[in-house]
Amino acid sequence: ESSSSTLILSSFDPVGTQDSVTGPLECSICLLKIKEGQIARELSCGHIFHKRCVDKWLKSNYRCPLDNKDLRD
């Protein structure tokens, strides 16, 4: 099953780590910025969260916390 991937943010790329509307990437689960060197997870829908936050979420949910997409597909 390939519904998510693990990322390690090794450097800040103004294009790759910022959303044009909200600025630097923020984990919508804990509401903290995803900083350089932190481990993040990208779900199949493209949303990115701290790995520790989304892994805890995914233990009891099968949907993305942002768009409610079923991740079992």
The 10s digit of each residue's pLDDT in 26-49 is 999 999 999 888 888 988 888 999
Q: What is the amino acid identity at position 9?
A: L
CA nearest 29: which of 61, 73, 66? 66
| Gyration radius (Cα) of the chain, Å | 12
Q: What is d(CA 56, CA 41) in angstroms, rounded to the nearest whole number?
A: 12
pTM of the model: 0.69
pLDDT category of residue 25 using cuts at 50, 70 and 90: confident
